[in-house]
Structure 1
């Protein structure tokens, strides 16, 4: 699977660790940066990474900042992005099963390396539930997205 990764200065170290893990699992990682811990603007990295997922250039995205919410706020402005902030594997499992999220946002200041690895592992290996009630709910969210968000070109 091709994974877009992005981060700000607070997420550089954790992003690099997760990137190595994903590559060891056989995934291709497209790193949108940043590559250092100098103060920077998160949107400069999350926005192009989100576009890559929305355009189908990458299958999913994993974004790391201080708490995760900044990445999610930016990513969810893009048509076709369904970003979830997860702080434990249980939330990661539900984010895939119940919402079919295609972007995972993590907070490097909130969770440790081992927890982040477990969250990524769970999120990457969990499929969405295909039962009618879950598909109906996901389809309603996608309809809202399509009604109010401009298609990405």
Structure 2
């Protein structure tokens, strides 16, 4: 298990501004952000930045990550192609809390053109502070793992 204080963060050009803000906010909260790009506003393809982060979470090299693109949809679809990844696209504090409490999401996905900085910070803080409830929810996650084992190629 990796250092729980480290959180990977990546975006495409549509999420760059929010990524930089959330990276600073993570530092304010006492976390160490592992910035996996982008580093300028040039147009890029989101899989080039989301894939390395999702891969690290999938392999257990890092416990949690944050992905940001214009809407969050592309990054969410991409990240969930990886075994052991539970990426949740959130748009309010309630979905941020539920993504962790019920689904134990290990990647938070946000739409940089959908959510403002203030709300994004609230969602991030909520996600970080929320604990997985387990119980009946663990049973459901176990069923998702069964689907992964049947449908996804093992490394």
TM-score tier by shorter-chain length is: over 0.9
* Distance across 2 between alignment mates of 1:17 and 1:80: 28
Secondary structure, aligned partner of 2:131 = coil
Please, what TM-score do these two structures have when normalized by structure 1? 0.95
- Tell me how large the CA RMSD over aligned residues is: 1.0
Moved more, 139-148 or 35-44: 139-148
Instruction: Verify: 1:134 aligned to 2:137, yes or no.
Output: yes
Give matches, 1:45-60, under 5 Å: 45-60=49-64
- CA offset digits 1:24-77 (Å, max 9, x no partner): 222121111011111001011000011111111111010011010110011011
Tell whether the 8 Å contact from 2:102 to 2:134 is kept in structure 1 after alignment: no
Whole-angstrom distance in 1 between the partners of 2:29 and 2:148: 32
1:148 matched to 2:151? The reply is yes
Deviation, structure 1 residue 5: 0.8
**TM-score, structure 2 as length reference:** 0.93
Among 99, 105, 114, the alignment partner of 2:103 is 99
What is the number of equivalent residue pairs in this alignment?
151
Deviates more, 1:100-109 or 1:140-149: 140-149
- Structure 1: unaligned runs, 5 residues or longer: none
Partner SS state of residue 22, structure 1: helix
Check the 8 A contact 1:22/1:29 in 2, yes or no: yes
Equivalent residues of 1:7, 1:34 under 8 A apart: yes
Distance 2:60 2:38 in 1: 22
CA distance in 1: counterparts of 2:93 and 2:154, whole angstroms: 32
Q: Counterparts in 2 of 1:31-50, with a 5 A limit?
A: 31-50=35-54
Q: How big is each residue's C-alpha offset from its partner over 1:107-146, in whole Å with a ceiling of 9 and x where there is no partner? A: 0111100000000001111111122x21111111122112
